[in-house]
Amino acid sequence: MIKTSWVGGANAPEADFPLNNLPYGVFSRAGEGLRCGVAIGDFVADLAVLETAGLLEVSGFTAPVLNGFMARGKAAWAAARARLAELFAQAGDPVLRDNAALREAVLIPRSDVTMHMPFAVAGYTDFYAGRHHAENVGTMFRGAENALPPNWLSIPIGYNGRASTVVVSGTEIRRPLGQIKPPDAELPVFSPTKRLDIELEFGAVLGQGTEMGAPLTVAEADELIFGYVLLNDWSARDIQAWEYQPLGPFQAKVFATSISPWVVTREALEPFRVAAPKRARPLLPYLREPGPMLYDVQLEVHMRAAGQEQDTVISRTNTRELYYSAAQQLAHHAIGGCKMSVGDLLGSGTISGPEKDSRGSLLEITWGGKEPLTLSGGVERRFIEDGDTLTLTGFAQGDGYRIGFGNCVGTISPAPALRPEWIE
């Protein structure tokens, strides 16, 4: 059931940010510095003001990122969440509710703020944990009989991405340059990507680190996760096709990864845990789950062509379609001794469902560009063109409330001009 609040907009059944949610982010207002906040109803609650006023026992919210607060650990996370719930509850502590001047200082309309990266990304690993996506891509490139690599059903496949180009929703994304080998050419050419794509993913944010050489169980790994964001791992498919053998993606993936601005806590998602799909073959014991480790989060991809005013929903799917959970990915990451850090980001890999309208990338939706997609206004797309805007949305549906993530948005700008020394 929804937890009622006195804050405007928090009690509507379709609101993203009820009292049940309380996601963390970093914001600013014109002429002011960055600080931590919580989304509640139609507002951002300024945690720095609450901390300075002595209404929060947990500190660290005057910083421009959440890392310091996350590093304080699970007890601090629970204490902050409980206190915020008490301050904003309809029948909770009236110290904020009944003080008009303090309310005005703490609660800022979300329309009046600019959102920033919520945490400093210590490291970024992208996985390949969606079976439908892996089978679709494998079928396109290797045939249905060899769709899954032989290790896929035993191990969470992943690669190390670039933390330096993880950006917050709303950041413009520049079309990348790279080597591309046309199908009928003997050698590659240098060019902007012509097959720019999205990957609809779920990102886990680590709130605690590990020591080098210290493995984790899946249960221990789950306890280190602070929360989750929506994640778009932009991809240059033609650059990827030429470079990925034998070490996997490189330039095709490192130019940009967008995340939603609010980190939805693991605690807020607890009521929405679901079990993994039936295993095609037993996992090794270190990867076996002690209980449900996935979540029931509904996802959508919206696309708006350059010059158009209306979005088109091009995909609807759910995080429960994943084969491996973030806790399993983290346990596998650490099992060999890899040191994990506060602020590490784990991307789930593309989340696709079994139907065409539930696929999480244009590569799958258009089947490698062979089946064009028709958007609002009759515009056709095989891949993303300059000026196009892609928006990811997601929420978990409760009884009379939803746990929303906010939007993850990116618009594509043209590639850098080609300099003569690059092409002659």
Active-site residues, by number, are: 133
Chain position carrying tokens 């199908």? 183
Cα distances from 114 to residues 28, 31, 33, 59, 166, in angstroms, run 5, 11, 11, 23, 17
- Non-local (6+) Cβ contacts of 30 within 8 A are none
C-alpha span between 343 and 121 (Å, rounded)? 5
Cis preceding-peptide flag for 176 (omega within 30 of 0): no
Q: Take residue 130 and report the two structure tokens written for it.
A: 């969606």
Cβ burial 191-222 (10 Å sphere, 16+ → b, else e): bbbbbbbbbbbbbbbbbbbbeeeebbbbebbb
Residues found in the chain = 424
Beta-carbon neighbour count of residue 53 at 10 Å? Answer: 15
Q: Please give the span between the terminal C-alpha atoms of the chain, in angstroms, as a whole number.
A: 65
C-alpha span between 121 and 346 (Å, rounded)? 10
Q: Take residue 213 and report the two structure tokens written for it.
A: 């050489």
Instruction: Tell me phi and psi for residue 344, to 5 degrees.
Output: -65, 145
* Residues 234, 173 contacting (CB under 8 angstroms): yes
Cα distances from 29 to residues 110, 203, 247, in angstroms, run 10, 27, 44
Long-range pairs, 53-59, Cβ under 8 A, ≥24: 53/102, 55/83, 55/87, 55/95, 55/96, 56/80, 56/83, 56/84, 57/83, 58/83
Which ranges in 193-247 belong to alpha helices (H)?
A: 218-224, 237-243
C-alpha span between 417 and 421 (Å, rounded)? 12
Give the burial class of 165: count Cβ atoms within 10 A of its Cβ; 0-12 exposed, 13-18 middle, 19 or more buried.
middle
